[in-house]
Chains A and B, each alone.
Chain A
């Protein structure tokens, strides 16, 4: 089989002027599976869809802004039994514990 289909097919993006340190540090990003462009894309646009992420097949860390979008932290006191049941339900349904609580609140409020 010919090797010629490995010839260059896409023009190289013009490299930006970088410091020596930044050039060397890019190796760390590369080792983490990120490229310069990916890092920029993540910081400038956090609205990439799940399908896009799935297409790149890369784990995207959940950032605080994603987790806290439209949410506020709240603390409740529960018995150990409740905590255990909540954990079991979360594992069974695949939903976050806080998501289960939100669902229960919505259902309870609707039934009233």
Chain B
């Protein structure tokens, strides 16, 4: 199974999500997992290197692939239970190649204007991608949410904006927590640093919700449910 964590917006937590999902699958599901790092910043590759320095952490393999990687991904899929792709924050060949073969696509966005402004372009890509990869299950997830109750409306509004484009949004969100940064520094995931913590719970629930997304029930991107007029 190929799981892509990608999107056009940088800084939305793609690498963080991809890494934590990979550890969840490896450590708690006992799956054979490969990470594919398509980001020239090598965030995930460096994190894997950190992990290799700690023999107590379950080993996860990682390869770096750039450009048109569709055939490579199809080949790698045969040898692993899960191929988790971390694709950097821009619309490029690697992102589209991954989208063309992915079973699940998770697109993280922060509840910020600059992130939500990328949704129309993602809708455009996803609607075309649906024609070449009709089985894909794509969903947005709102990440780095503020925990202040007074800012809760921003999370709800961000979800509403995404839904207006006819693209599923996970109910699960991730909050802005130091645990995500702290665990990454030592090559760990939040699941390994604090297995019963809130961050670990967020990762488990959002990933299970993504997998539970029924492909046949996925929204038809070309027929949005509602079109709002903007004054």
Any chain A CB within 8 A of the CB of B148?
A: no
- Write out the residue numbers on chain B whose beta carbons fall within 8 Å of the beta carbon of A8: 120, 123, 164-166, 224, 226-228
- B159-202 interface bits toward A, Cβ cutoff 8 Å, 1 = contact, 0 = none: 01100111000000000000000000000000000000000000
- B203-231 interface bits toward A, Cβ cutoff 8 Å, 1 = contact, 0 = none: 00000000000000000011010111110
Nearest Cβ in chain B — how far from A4, in angstroms?
5
B68 & A4 in contact (Cβ 8 Å cutoff): no
Q: Of the candidates A1, A3, A4, A19, which one forms a contact with B132 in the assembled complex, judged by CB atoms under 8 Å apart?
A: A19
A6 & B161 in contact (Cβ 8 Å cutoff): yes
Any chain A CB within 8 A of the CB of B32?
A: no
Interface size class of A (residues with CB under 8 A): 20 to 34
Within 8 A of A (CB), among B91-141: 91-93, 95-97, 100, 111, 113, 116-117, 119-120, 123-124, 127-132
A31 in contact with B116 given A15-B131, A18-B128, A24-B70 (CB within 8 Å)? no
Compute how far the CA of A3 lies from the CA of B166 in the bound complex, rounded to whole angstroms: 17
Any chain B CB within 8 A of the CB of A14?
A: yes
Within 8 A of B (CB), among A5-40: 5-12, 14-15, 17-20, 23-28, 30-31
Any chain A CB within 8 A of the CB of B158?
A: yes
- Write out the residue numbers on chain B whose beta carbons fall within 8 Å of the beta carbon of A63: none
B222 & A15 in contact (Cβ 8 Å cutoff): yes
Per the CB 8 Å criterion, the residue count for chain B at the interface is 40
A12 & B222 in contact (Cβ 8 Å cutoff): yes
B161 & A18 in contact (Cβ 8 Å cutoff): no
Query: Interface SS of chain B: helix, strand, loop or mixed?
Result: helix
Any chain B CB within 8 A of the CB of A2?
A: yes
| Interface of B toward A, CB cutoff 8 Å | 68, 70, 90-93, 95-97, 100, 111, 113, 116-117, 119-120, 123-124, 127-132, 154, 157-158, 160-161, 164-166, 221-222, 224, 226-230
| Interface of A toward B, CB cutoff 8 Å | 1-12, 14-15, 17-20, 23-28, 30-31
Q: List 14 A-B contacts (CB under 8 A).
A: A3-B160, A4-B157, A6-B113, A8-B226, A11-B224, A12-B224, A14-B222, A15-B222, A18-B131, A19-B132, A20-B70, A20-B100, A24-B68, A31-B92
Contacts A3-B113, A8-B165 known; 18 new A-B pairs at CB < 8 A: A3-B116, A3-B154, A3-B157, A3-B161, A4-B157, A6-B116, A7-B161, A8-B123, A8-B164, A8-B226, A11-B227, A12-B221, A15-B131, A19-B132, A24-B96, A24-B97, A26-B128, A27-B95
